[in-house]
Structure 1
Amino acid sequence: MRVMVLVKATEDSEQGFKPTAWNMRMLEAMDRYNDELAKAGIMLSGDGLRPSSDGKRVAFDGAGRLVIDGPFAETKELVAGFWLWQVKDMDEAVAWVKRCPNPMPGPSEIEIRPLYEMDDLGLGVDA
């Protein structure tokens, strides 16, 4: 099963990366954690995202498109980073997330979402 593991943004992450002592320790801890994920064959991809002030959204309405510049409101709804993992089940994903260093200097959340597979859509290889 593939899962997307989403590190939720905080006001700290929306300020952008600054080379503070805490950030440098967190990066070292995260590097060790990512090495463990890679050695276990779990991590397919992953990275941190720049603040939403550097991003854009494209809103769709029929044929119309509207480009919206960041930053975006509701920090708690934003994503600061992600991993794409291959795990045997959701329990394994939860167990790995519990081992993760706290990615923020204060309270934070990590969300785990399963990806659709072809079989979920009735579009297996035989279709």
Structure 2
Amino acid sequence: MKVMVIIKATPNSEAGKMPSTALLEAMGKFNQELLDAGIMLAGDGLKPSSAGARVQFQGNQRTVTDGPFTETKELIAGYWLWQVSSLQEAIDWVKKCPPPMEDEPAEIEIRPLFEMEDFAEIDPTGEFRAHEQQMRDQTEG
């Protein structure tokens, strides 16, 4: 199963405070462990929301709001994409993670990704899933 492991933003990450060398080294070591175990597919830190934008949809209307965004607890500071055998395996790996934020409480959320078989009931002919797989193959190639 694929999971997205989401590192929640904090006031310091939203302020653009960069991690210490010690934290970068600890995270680098942890990332190497994930790679060596064949789990990590991708991962990156995100710039503060002040560098981003949101697009809201209401029917055919699109409204763009530039950052920063006020609800820090709802924001993401970074992510990993992992291939694991179960949610419990992902939890076990997150427990091994160095504290992702220095001098602040931190939270990491784990969310399973939809797999093609999750759509079997609403796609009985398999047409949607075949097209989706073709697009995935194209992005990976």
Where does the alignment leave 5 or more consecutive residues of structure 1 unmatched? none
Cα distance between partner residues in 2 of 1:27 and 1:79: 18
Alignment map for 1:9-28 (pairs within 5 Å): 9-18=9-18, 23-28=20-25
Equivalent residue runs for 1:45-124 within 5 Å: 45-105=42-102, 106-122=104-120
- Partners of 1:23 and 1:10 in 2: how far apart? 15
How far did residue 17 of structure 1 move? 3.6
Of all paired residues, the percent bearing the same amino acid is 59
Q: TM-score, normalised by structure 1?
A: 0.93
**Runs of 4+ off more than 2 Å:** none
Whole-Å separation in 1 of the counterparts to 2:105 and 2:117:
37
Alpha-carbon shift at residue 73 of structure 1 (Å): 1.1
Q: Choose 1 or 2 for highest CA Rg.
A: 2
Residue 29 of structure 1 corresponds to: 26
RMSD, aligned α-carbons: 1.4
By relative contact order (CA 8 Å, sep 6+), the higher-ranking structure is 1
